[in-house]
Chain A
């Protein structure tokens, strides 16, 4: 492992932009393209937002972010001790959402899967959720 950071922050929506700023600064040494940078920031934003709005909902708790660089690959683990996901396969289907106000698209996991190389979800109801994202940076470089 070349580098690793761990942070935790309260499940407040203003911390979504904080999480994006942290991951952008952390992967900057890998010299990502603007598109790769935007891809990673978007995926992290989706995972962190899910912990805040679904994991903790109206409750308050910590969101944990563990970021590593190994060679040219970044791994980001976003973890919460929130309510957990009963059916992970269903949750990851495009357009699936448990939100009922009609303003969520149910695309968060699909976005993560499209913008990253791998997405792994572990969850236990009543215990919490752990999302592991990886992406190799510079794949299209000569």
Chain B
């Protein structure tokens, strides 16, 4: 499940449930559609309520980072679970997006 909200030209993408290869394509399409429809400058992934993510999610984050970079925007991610944090650090994603503990931190970082 994915929910969208826009605040101060920032698109907040809140994902609940699981991100795996099975639902990655649909999630990607929904996010890209929003980015192209809203006039947003930044993207925040709120994963604080996410139950599960594997490397399929890394592909989504890197792809959206590249998309936002072409629009001159930044990306931040809210992460609370240790396994998810390890996954992001491992993949080097933390070098290109801001990894934050809370949505308010992410809103400032993005």
Contacts and interface: CB of A to CB of B under 8 A. Distances in A.
Interface of A: 13-14, 16-17, 20, 34-35, 38-39, 41-42, 45-46, 49, 52-53, 102-105, 107-108, 110-111, 114-115
Contacts of A49: 20-21, 54, 56
Contact of B20 (A34, A45, A102, A107): A45
Contacts of B52: 20, 38, 41-42, 45
Contacts, number: 70
Q: How large is the interface on B (under 10, 10 to 19, 20 to 34, 35 or more residues)?
A: 20 to 34
A25 B54 CA distance: 19
A103 B24 contact: yes
Contacts of A53: 21
A39 B20 CA distance: 14
Most buried by A among B24, B55, B56, B60: B55
10 contacts: A38-B81, A41-B52, A49-B21, A49-B56, A102-B63, A103-B59, A105-B91, A107-B55, A111-B54, A114-B90
